[in-house]
Amino acid sequence: MTCSNKKYLALMNKVSDGEATISEREELDQHLASCDSCRNYFHELQLSTELLHQLSRPQLPENFTQRVIERLPAEKRHAIRTWTSRHPLLSAVVVCALPVSYLMVRAGRQNQLSEKNDDHFIMLKLPGERS
């Protein structure tokens, strides 16, 4: 197809699939009347579509899908991923609670240390200050 307008290629596909509106079909027909390249391409597209519809579909056994699924390798999942996917709310609580509790314990220890060491402060005097 030598026509450079990609819009008509999309319209051809919509018309072939039966998804085009009447106005889109009319617009494509007007373009095909004046563009030999697009007209030939659309004709080939229609022939290809008809050939595809004429193909016979194989008859599969009733349990075909189940047998294919059973032959697939077992999914290997990490234990933590399995647990977190089964318990998303608890996972979120754990992820948030652990760091917060750690910070609270550290803050409590700092308060205890500062209360014990109140009498061990060293006062520094700046030069020129009088006591």
Tallying the residues shown for the chain, one arrives at 131
46-94 residue pLDDT tens: 999 889 888 888 888 889 989 998 888 877 667 777 778 888 888 888 8
Residue 50, CB half-sphere, CA atoms under 13 Å: how many? 6
Considering the chain, what is the average pLDDT of its residues?
A: 82
Which tokens is 30 given? 């007007």
Q: Count, in order, helices (H) and strands (E) of the chain.
A: 6, 0
Which tokens is 96 given? 């948030």
5-56 residue pLDDT tens: 788 888 898 998 888 899 999 999 999 999 888 999 999 999 998 898 888 8
Q: What is the pLDDT of residue 85?
A: 83
pTM for this model (two decimals): 0.44
